[in-house]
Amino acid sequence: MRRRDIAINASTPLITRRRVLTSAAAFAGHTLVCSRPSFAATKQSSRIDVSGRNALRTHAAAKHLFFGAAVNPKALREDEDYARLLRQQCSMLVAENCMKWKAIEPQQGQFQFDDADFILAFAEKYKLKMRGHTLIWHDALPAWVEAGMTSSNARQWMIAHIQNICERYNGRIHSWDVVNEAIRPEDGRPDGLRNNIWLRTMGPEYIETAFRTARAADPAALLTYNDWGLEDESPQNEERRRIVLTMMRRLRQRNVPIDAIGIQAHLNLPNPAGYGAGLQRFLASLKELDLQVFITELDADDHRLPDNMELRDAEVAKAFGQFLDIVLPGPAVTAVLTWGLTSRYTWLRDRDHNSTPRGLPFDDNLEPTAGFNAIRDAFDRRRIQPAVPKPITLLRPGQSWR
Ligand code: G3I
């Protein structure tokens, strides 16, 4: 049975919470049954209302969080149901691809802002915050940059690129991913930096230049360093967290304007390392550095799991729940975004053409998945620290505050 044989259509069932828990218990007990899922057995007749007070954005707001998702502009234009779901569930959006350099300036000096403008106009129409993704990255560069960037023009090209985008959207973006994925321990440098085109042409100072330029071009936006592989308790992730922290401390010492860390959270399943103490220590250190934390690209890649829909749903739900239960108590966490809202439009499809990804809050039919429940329940479990009341000081006549 290949996953492509699993028909996903309007009658695809929702997995109830009880069934998910049962499946999770079975999976935890290693009683995996890699057989065709019995859809008839799991069929539910009632549909869950996920609008209004039941929506992710509402549960997030109750715990002082934004909930958002990465957006596909073509789908936003053409798929009304998708557009409706976005504004029903999200209080924040981010463009999945159309703000990347390759999309914005495919030929030098020829800009294509239509898609980014369209998403931002949608966000503003429905009063949703918008993240900007991403200014400086080694990937999604236009061919002319890859071919023509040298040590003599790199700084000038970087600054012009950041100014072009940030000044266009000045004051309208909640937070920019200024530098994306700048570390790669495998490249063997003592500082852990990725040996990318920016490092080769500008040296390690490229990171600092990017943040300073972004601050000047869009002073109101929060400036973020965004990366993957910071989530689990594997030695590799622990090493990546150490490198990122060292980098953040160095940037702070040099008064580089940086406000937040983006923990991408592309969770890979199965993940025996789990989520725990190392991630908690990382969050505490970020708090000490006075950095906000955004969960920027949450999803679960389930294509390595057995061809059993129930088990896959259970594993996705378990991973979302465990991960969010570690990060959400951190008061520095202010936003959670999934990388796509529905498996109708997700990059995870490209990872395994035979599978129907389950690792997002909504499935191909825009029905809530077990992952939806897991995210919402994790929001509900978040304890908000009570605000410390400011001492009231009465001024006597003739006294002043100074
Ligand atoms: O739009 C073109 C299309 O015209 C062309 O025919 C087709 C042929 O391959 O490619 C299409 O572009 C693809 C684009 O996604 C839109 O679908 C690119 O090849 C493909 O490389 C691109 O992948 C994106 C990837 O970033 C690289 O930019 C994924 O959709 C996107 O989900 C992914 O997102 C990244 C984040 O930006 C950073 N963190 C990791 C995350 C997942 O990799």
pLDDT of residue 398: 58
Of 97, 231, 344, the one to substitute when testing ligand 1's pocket (max ligand atoms within 8 A of C-beta) is 97
Q: Of 66, 91, 86, 68, whose CA–CA distance to 76 is shortest?
A: 86
Q: Which atom in ligand 1 lies closest to the alpha carbon of residue 264?
A: 39
Rounded Cα–Cα distance for residues 135 and 221 (Å): 13
Helix (H) or strand (E) segment spanning residue 124: helix 114-125
Q: Which atom in ligand 1 lies closest to the alpha carbon of residue 347?
A: 32
Which residue's alpha carbon is nearest to atom 18 within ligand 1?
140
| Residues making up the chain, counted from first to last | 402
Are 57 and 32 contacting, i.e. CB atoms less than 8 angstroms apart? Answer: no
* Cα 75 to ligand 1 centroid, rounded to whole Å: 15
* Cα 100 to ligand 1 centroid, rounded to whole Å: 10
pLDDT of residue 17: 35
pLDDT of residue 307: 87
Walking along the chain (402 residues) 10 residues at a time, the average pLDDT comes out as 34 35 33 28 58 98 98 98 98 98 98 98 98 98 98 98 98 98 98 98 98 98 98 98 98 98 97 97 97 98 92 97 97 97 94 82 97 98 76 55 44
* Cα 86 to ligand 1 centroid, rounded to whole Å: 20
Helix, strand, or coil (residue 364): coil
pLDDT of residue 392: 57
Are 245 and 285 contacting, i.e. CB atoms less than 8 angstroms apart? Answer: yes
pLDDT of residue 310: 94
Rounded Cα–Cα distance for residues 88 and 78 (Å): 17
* Cα 33 to ligand 1 centroid, rounded to whole Å: 34
pLDDT of residue 387: 63
pLDDT of residue 52: 97
pLDDT of residue 393: 53
Amino acid type, 400: S
Angle, CA 298 vertex, CA 120 and CA 214 arms, to 5°? 45
* Cα 386 to ligand 1 centroid, rounded to whole Å: 42
pLDDT of residue 350: 81
* Cα 372 to ligand 1 centroid, rounded to whole Å: 24
pLDDT of residue 351: 77
Of 178, 264, 347, the one to substitute when testing ligand 1's pocket (max ligand atoms within 8 A of C-beta) is 347
Spell out which residues line ligand 1, taking CB within 6 angstroms.
96-97, 100, 139-140, 180, 228, 264, 297, 347
Angle, CA 80 vertex, CA 76 and CA 82 arms, to 5°? 60
Which residue's alpha carbon is nearest to atom 11 within ligand 1?
97
* Cα 97 to ligand 1 centroid, rounded to whole Å: 6
pLDDT of residue 66: 98
pLDDT of residue 48: 85
